[in-house]
Amino acid sequence: MVSIIAGSKSDSNIVEKAEKVLEEFSVPYETKYLSAHRTPDLLDEYIKNCEQKGTKVFIAIAGGAAHLPGVIASKTLKPVIGVPVKSNDLGGLDSLLSIVQMPNDIPVATVGIDRGKNAALLAIEILALSDESLSKKLKDYRSKLVGKYL
């Protein structure tokens, strides 16, 4: 249902945050490490395969120039959620601006820097629009937040 694509294995700590949430909600997912720049043909092939397998949402985790979410969005009509990665040079601002400033007509939803957890929750919200069971799990999750943070 959800495809997580990260541009580099160095992003695995953010990937793990997303995977953990998807597992908590029993949402099937697949994770791949593919680069928009270093493995463009493999990325293209993988996106086509995801379309055939029924992927409903993509989570794209990328740092630096962070072209990965936009490239994915240009190749699918499914929602793409971009997760900018904190960088040593600009603290992730470069990644954030690259993802959030997509050109008109090819949108990418964007969460905060290193917020893999929020990307997974947003993916679940999208899926819950057409899945009552998942919607109930999400409502239960949200109701528990009150006690957790107060």
pLDDT tens per residue, range 70-83: 999 999 999 999 99
Residue 149 has pLDDT above 80, yes or no: no
Q: Which domain holds residue 33?
A: 2-149
pLDDT of residue 147: 78
pLDDT of residue 89: 84
38 is in an annotated binding site: yes
pLDDT tens per residue, range 7-45: 999 999 999 999 999 999 999 999 999 999 999 999 999
CATH of the domain at 67: 3.40.50.1970
Total tally of structural domains belonging to the chain: 1
pTM, whole model, 2 decimals?
A: 0.96
8 is in an annotated binding site: yes
11 is in an annotated binding site: yes
Distances (CA, A) of 22 to 31, 88, 109, 125: 11, 28, 18, 11
Region 99-114 average pLDDT: 96
Cα(92)–Cα(121) distance, integer angstroms: 21
Residue 103 has pLDDT above 80, yes or no: yes
